[in-house]
Structure 1
Amino acid sequence: MSYVIEQPVEARLVAAAPRMPNIPATLHYDRRDPFAVRMTFPAPATLEGVDVCWTFSRELLASGLTENVGQGDVRARPYGYDRTVLEFHAPEGTAVIHVRTGEVRRFLDATNALVPVGLEHLQLDLDHDLAELMRDAA
């Protein structure tokens, strides 16, 4: 069974420069880090010219389909019938993107098939993680 889900999505950068209003992005989920999702933007779509990856909770992404959520660097909310807004806040500025809600739902359905919500803790190897922490502390 696969440990990782990757799904390309089309993101629309709000108030973007004319050169790239639609940007490719990829949603990632790895059952070895069962509470988190990542969204990666390729180098041509970023101000820095390097791939940019944001990590945030799967719960935030799921809740953002129906309500305004997030207080930190990543926020999500529904926008109309078929869009979800994701905001990424950094010292350099804020990126606001729209993603099709159907694409996000498909991604979340795949993550739930891999690791059902509420059972994430079963994927964690706390003994191994504690041993790693202790080894690093020594």
Structure 2
Amino acid sequence: MSIVIEQSVQARMVASAPQMETLPAVLQYDRTDPFAIRMAFPAPATLEGTEVSWEFSRELLTAGMDKRAGVGDVRIRPFGYDRTVLEFHAPEGIAMVHVRTADLRRFLRRTQQLVPVGAEHRFLDLDRSLTDLLGGSR
């Protein structure tokens, strides 16, 4: 049984212009994939005109709110007293957004109520993952 948590947040796109554009985004957590967080930006908010979704670890988000974290496609760091910066690195360039840290902490609390940190292994569906990996059907 899949239980999914979704939370809408306002992200502010960091651009070269002094004004930062506000974008809607949705954070998502699915307990059947207990290590991952997804952040989706709707089609109107993207350059491509299609929804863009990024996936990264819950652990990365937790760490990045307090200190610089990540070395790959997603990097997270605190910014000032009440914001967190999420950097999304792609071949086309880097997108940086500010999100209120309180919104991220509220979302993480909800995920931890669903799947406590350290108990993620209890929610993995290894049979399904292996079937998906091998390209078979269940």
| Alignment partner of 1:129 is 2:129 | yes
Q: In structure 1, what is the equivalent of residue 101 of structure 2?
A: 101
String of CA shifts for 1:31-70, please: whole Å, max 9, x gaps. Answer: 0000000000011110001000000000000101101000
Q: 1:128 to 1:53 in 2, by over 3 A?
A: closer
**d(CA) in 2 for partners of 1:120, 1:88:** 25
* Alignment of 1:78 onto 2:86: no
Contact in 2 for aligned 1:26/1:40 (Cα 8 Å):
yes
Say whether 1:45 aligns with 2:45. yes
% identity of equivalent residues: 65
SS in 1 for 2:98: strand
Q: Name 2:12's counterpart in structure 1.
A: 12
* TM-score, normalisation: structure 1: 0.90
Counterpart Cα distance in 1 of 2:85 and 2:41: 15
RMSD: 2.0
Shift of 1:129: 3.0
TM-score normalised to structure 2 length: 0.90
Asked whether the equivalents of residues 11 and 97 of structure 1 are also in contact (C-alpha less than 8 Å), the reply is yes
Gaps of 5+ in 1: none
**Which consecutive residues of structure 2, in runs of 5 or more, have no partner in the other structure?**
none
Shift of 1:78: 0.5
Deviations along 1:67-107, one digit per CA (max 9) or x if unpaired, are 10000000000011100000000011100100000000000
Aligned length: 136
Runs (4 or more) in structure 1 with deviation over 2 Å come to 16-20, 127-136
